[in-house]
Amino acid sequence: MANFETYLDEHVFSPAKIAEALRTTKSEISETLGLAGDALTRRQRIEAPKTQSRLREMLEILNRVEPHAGSILAAYAWFRSAPLPGFGGQTPDGLVRAGRARDVHRYLDQVMAGGFA
């Protein structure tokens, strides 16, 4: 995955750059992260702390998973669809939407340390 600066535009995460890298739309990313429909289209909403936080959380998780998944696209597919053991079948994107990105990081810490999740 590219360094975070690749996804910045005037010091904020650019939904357009992220969508391009993930070969998807801003609308899909917005839905994946549980953001309002205009959160990734209106400049004021893009710059909002909640929007920027969710984009950063997703990118941090994708960055950790990409080397194991094989590509950023595979990491994004995992993020959107892999039910995580111990979290009632919730997916990483569902946990991020619920404000539980730290739980995803803890899960990844455990798995990458060779443990079972």
17-45 pLDDT, tens digit each: 999 999 999 999 999 999 998 999 999 99
Q: How many CB atoms lie within 10 A of CB 96?
A: 24
Distances in Å between the Cα of 10 and the Cα atoms of 47, 65, 69 are 10, 27, 30
What is the structure's pLDDT at 11?
A: 92
Distances in Å between the Cα of 31 and the Cα atoms of 13, 100, 116 are 17, 17, 30
- Domain ranges for the chain, please list them: 4-112
Confirm if 25 and 19 have CB atoms less than 8 A apart: yes
pTM reported for the whole predicted model? 0.92
User: Which pair of tokens denotes residue 15?
Assistant: 């939904």
User: Which pair of tokens denotes residue 70?
Assistant: 């094989």
Q: In angstroms, rounded to a whole number, what is the distance separating the alpha carbons of residues 85 and 49?
A: 30
51-81 pLDDT, tens digit each: 999 999 999 999 999 999 999 999 999 999 9
Instruction: Please state the separation of Cα 66 from the chain's center in Å.
Output: 12
